Amino acid sequence: MGVKVKDRVALITGSGSGIGEGVAKRLSQNGAKIVINDVVQEKIDKVVADIKAAGGEAIGMNIDITKKDQVDEMFKKTVETFGRIDILVNNAGVSRDKGILKLTEEDWDFVVDINLKGQFFCCQGAIGYMREQKFGRIVNISSRAWLGGVGQANYAASKGGVVSLTRTLALELARFGINVNCICPGLIKTPLYDALTEEQVANLIKAQPMGAIGNPNDIAQGVLFFVDDDAGYVTGQVIFICGGRSLWSSLSV
């Protein structure tokens, strides 16, 4: 019967490229109406154009998710355009890896503000509308790195916060028909991955039990599972899509 998201309205943060773009296009292919969010207008325009060219419906929102007033306006415009908001995928994220003694306050705030505070603001922005509808699907993108990573104190802490936020909101919102779940990707081919050196890539692949790199479609498949109309009894869950990296790594031997 396929995934049941037809005519659902889905907003995906950080969807101008990478995982977010892949998720947006997969949801559109399954009939959802899409809101693309990013801070680079050219990326927004390209993804919106791609979705429309494939026969889908999409609009773009160039807003900074660390600014609550902008986030609230984004959801207001989404509902004004499509009449509702059914699905929120909190995907936007950044990294700035350094050893703990080299991390600055600015490094910490930059990563935590986008990766965690931004998700908090977006959840708040969506939940008011979802409560009125008695329906909502929120998928928060964390990372396998929330389990810990050398030189990633700020990143791992922010992503661990996403897991905790997910579980707490799942408890708070279950009675309103709003499901909140979490995906922890491993090594995925995205612009962040493309910025790595050959040596870094080789070491990361060596640490993968499958010896392979994932792609945005792998994460999109997990999102599809969580947002399906038939997934109404699934909430507060954390799925690792990481090629086994969360279970074992040669880096830890």
155 in active site: yes
Domains defined along the chain, listed by start: 9-240 (3.40.50.720)
Q: Do 88 and 123 touch, CB atoms closer than 8 A? A: yes
pLDDT for res 252? 43
pLDDT for res 126? 98
Closest CA to 182 of 241, 232, 129: 241
pLDDT of the chain along its 253 residues, tens only? 467 999 999 999 999 999 999 999 999 999 999 999 999 999 999 999 999 999 999 999 999 999 999 999 999 999 999 999 999 999 999 999 999 999 999 999 999 999 999 999 999 999 999 999 999 999 999 999 899 888 999 999 999 999 999 999 999 999 999 999 999 999 888 877 777 788 888 888 887 888 788 999 999 999 999 999 999 999 999 999 988 888 865 544 3
Token duo for residue 56: 């889908």
Which pairs with CB-CB distance under 8 Å and at least 24 residues apart come from 108-112?
108/154, 111/154, 111/155, 111/158, 112/154, 112/157, 112/158, 112/161
pLDDT for res 132? 97
pLDDT for res 208? 82
C-alpha distances out from residue 251 to 7, 26, 83, Å:
45, 33, 49
pLDDT for res 198? 85
Sign of CA dihedral 70, 67, 148, 181: negative
pLDDT for res 106? 98
Closest CA to 159 of 134, 176, 184: 184
Question: Considering 129, 155, 193, 233, which one is annotated as catalytic?
Answer: 155
pLDDT for res 210? 82
Number of H helices, E strands in the chain: 9, 7
**Angle in degrees, CA 135, 138, 140, rounded to 5:** 175
User: Would you tell me the crossing angle of helices 216-227 and 18-29 to the nearest 10 degrees?
Assistant: 50
